[in-house]
Amino acid sequence: MNIREKLQNLKQNPEDVYSHSQTEESFSRNYTNPVEVKYIPAEDVYELKVFDMEGGEQLDSKKFHSADEVLADLNIEK
């Protein structure tokens, strides 16, 4: 399953969270810190949260209206 499919599946399973952290196989050009994406049904948006690598403290949060917008923001290379 690719990342787009995983993000789209969050709509059917809003209790799930997609997590991404940098690896040699897959890395985000825009984020060096770990991120989590969750779908919020009440708002019909995806929320992307950026966390500190050390303590896990939330550093930033953004909302998007589609899985494609999230993918564009992550800018993941393989």
Q: What is the pLDDT of residues 16-75, one digit of tens each?
A: 999 987 776 667 788 888 999 999 999 999 999 999 988 789 999 999 999 999 999 998
Under 8 Å CB-to-CB from 19, ≥6 apart: which residues? 34, 35, 36, 37
| Per-residue pLDDT, 63 | 98
Residue type, 76: I
Output the DSSP codes for 40-52.
ETTTTEEEEEEE-
> Is residue 76 pLDDT above 80, yes or no?
no
Q: Evaluate whether 28 touches 70 at the Cβ level (below 8 Å).
A: no
Fold of 3-77: 3.30.720
pTM for the whole structure: 0.86
Q: Where are the domains of the chain?
A: 3-77
| Per-residue pLDDT, 25 | 63
